[in-house]
Structure 1
């Protein structure tokens, strides 16, 4: 074969590229121990993005669980395009456990995010030790209760199903309004739709139908509100 007729190097689909990292998940799960969960996400299937997981008992998730709210927000806003990873943020398991410390590495092909490798460390034992230390410390040192506490970013929610993540997102959005749903004005509905859109909620299958049901309006109305908040005609 001469140089002018060389066959192009075959490329593999994004999903296969991400899946090639599955052995790394098993390795890290064993190396870091049973209190550290390792999760591999394929963002081409957000409704069932978890394609590999080690120590899933930490969050209660399994293969086929959906993308997290944090990952949806990042994909919607492009927030991660300027960085390769996020470290040291708080996450909540589906059971409400708040003692998780998490980090995410974004997997890219040609600068596009195609997957994510997440590490979620259960901090329960450390929190218990911290609490004990604080009680002992309080016996010797006083604190100024008037000083404001440090503000922490919104924690990531590690949902086990699409129903969990959509229900949680809708509940949080509705809670931002001061009136009941049956008294919502157009402005209230637009505000809820914009908040959910900013969080990447509408990337999930069935999201429009679920929100329409919660707001007691039709699906075409949701699409109309979406066009408005996105500045479309």
Structure 2
């Protein structure tokens, strides 16, 4: 059964590969399209056209992909959300999950459009018209071909929301940090617990302990079971 499903998934990816180029050509150089196979998170990019997010075939999933992995088969399409790359590019994106005939999520088709120039023009016209509302603060998304860099960026982002270094965090804040990373799908990546431990300067055993406690706290608060 597994071999049949994998063959089906391979066929879906093969059918979508020319679609990647077609969408990118239609929207032009301000667009890139990325096809992901989440069976291999560390090298999930199987096809790419365009260069907005700097992805290459064989590159890793972004933190958006990690979030999809964390939600499993309950993941849904995320359409027309706006974010910034770490380089400052304003991007409007859509992530459409791929499912096999059993309904299992195994990949995604992602479309990213650089809307920086459009936003600048909109702001200029708004200023000329006297509509000087400040733009909303947008989240920063890490699009990296190296899964380690994506994990590191997520750890840094979560830690920066708190008081400071790991040693300065109290128990609740440490659990919140691990819970937040887990919700974002970081620990769905192979070896991520060890990487997070190294990034925080703690032992692997401590990292596993805090992750276990964070999950138990989450299950208790949502009425689930560990």
Shorter-chain-normalised TM-score: which range? 0.7 to 0.9
* Matched residue, 2:69: 75
Map 1:2-21; keep pairs closer than 5 Å.
Answer: 12=7, 14-21=9-16
* Matched residue, 1:39: 34
**5+ residue gaps in structure 1?**
1-9
CA positional deviation for 1:154:
4.2
In the superposition, the TM-score normalised over structure 2's length comes to 0.82
Map 1:80-159; keep pairs closer than 5 Å.
Answer: 81=74, 83=76, 85-97=77-89, 99-109=90-100, 110-138=102-130, 154=139, 156-159=141-144
1:41-94 per-position Cα deviation (integer Å, ceiling 9, x unaligned)? 111111111110001x2111111221121221132134x7374x2211013334
Structure 1 or 2: more helix by fraction: 2
- Check the 8 A contact 2:152/2:199 in 1, yes or no: no
TM-aligned CA distance change 1:36 to 1:179, over 3 Å = closer
CA positional deviation for 1:101:
0.6
Map 1:205-220; keep pairs closer than 5 Å.
Answer: 205-220=190-205
Give the Cα–Cα distance (whole angstroms) in 2 for the partners of residues 200 and 216 of structure 1: 21
Give the Cα–Cα distance (whole angstroms) in 2 for the partners of residues 92 and 159 of structure 1: 13
TM-aligned CA distance change 1:15 to 1:223, over 3 Å = farther
CA positional deviation for 1:193:
1.0
TM-aligned CA distance change 1:104 to 1:193, over 3 Å = same
CA positional deviation for 1:169:
0.4
Q: Tell me, what secondary structure is at the counterpart of 1:158? A: coil
In the superposition, the TM-score normalised over structure 1's length comes to 0.80
**Which entry has the higher C-alpha Rg, 1 or 2?**
1
CA-atom RMSD, angstroms? 2.5
